[in-house]
């Protein structure tokens, strides 16, 4: 055999050992949004600060709540308006309505869809806000009409959401039921400070 034939045979053998990378291609049109948000909340009981990483599509949403020390405090998975709140550090979980959770967390009576429209598109539910005494103020950035800062207040509570990063990616938000090994708990127990 000639040296060229041996070299070609060697290259073919090497190519046969390489495993092709299979990358799943999302269905046409499927995409999800990613928002990184810094939040601050204040009411008569105290203050909270932290960071939220939020992914959502038409059906599902996933929130990761980080403490000021950048540790994962809570994970929230929402399918439709049904919420699964996980507290990984204490091995607890809670299931219930998203609007109930938001009302307890920040004293705001909004559904997930309404919150998505306010934060991602700047569309305020005017009738509901007027009926329930919810004040919503938006500050747009130089990039376009999407808000960069959202102030929402109801009663004595006020939350400020500063959108640090926003992007859209192809694909879907997939939620996994990860309650195996966790104990069910009440919402107050999960949200209680250690």
* Average of per-residue pLDDT across 148-161: 93
How do the domains of the chain map onto residue ranges? 26-191
Token pair of 18 as six digits: 């390489």
Residue-wise pLDDT tens digits, 30-60:
899 999 999 999 988 888 889 999 999 999 9
Q: Are 114 and 123 in contact (CB under 8 A)?
A: no
CA–CA distance, 28 with 51 (Å, rounded to integer) = 32
pLDDT bracket for residue 63 (50, 70, 90)? very high
What would the pLDDT profile of 1-32 be if each residue is shown by its tens digit? 677 667 666 666 666 666 555 444 445 568 99
| Under 8 Å between Cβ of 118 and 35 | no
**Overall average pLDDT of the 114-130 stretch:** 91
Q: For domain 26-191, give the CATH number.
A: 2.50.20.10
The distance of Cα 122 from the centroid of its chain, to the nearest Å, equals 17
Q: What's this model's pTM, rounded to 2 decimal places?
A: 0.78
For 178-193, the DSSP string reads: --TT-EE--HHHHHS-
């Amino acid at each position: 055999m000639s040296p060229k034939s041996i070299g070609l045979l060697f290259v073919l053998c090497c190519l046969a050992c390489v495993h092709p990378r299979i990358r799943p291609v999302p269905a046409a049109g499927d995409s999800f949004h990613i928002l990184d948000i810094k939040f601050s909340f204040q009411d008569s009981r105290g203050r909270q600060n932290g960071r939220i990483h939020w992914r959502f599509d038409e059906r599902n949403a996933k929130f990761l709540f980080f403490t000021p020390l950048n540790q994962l405090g809570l994970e929230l998975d929402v399918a439709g308006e049904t919420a699964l709140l996980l507290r990984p550090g204490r091995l607890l979980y809670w299931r219930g309505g998203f609007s109930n959770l938001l009302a307890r967390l920040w004293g705001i009576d909004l559904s997930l869809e309404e919150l998505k429209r306010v934060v991602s598109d700047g569309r305020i539910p005017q009738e509901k806000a007027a009926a329930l005494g919810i004040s919503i103020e938006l500050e747009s950035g130089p990039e376009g009409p999407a808000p960069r800062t959202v102030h929402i207040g109801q009663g004595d509570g006020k939350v400020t959401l500063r959108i640090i990063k926003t992007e859209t990616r192809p694909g879907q938000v997939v939620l996994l039921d990860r309650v195996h090994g966790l104990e069910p708990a009440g919402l107050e127990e999960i949200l209680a400070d250690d």
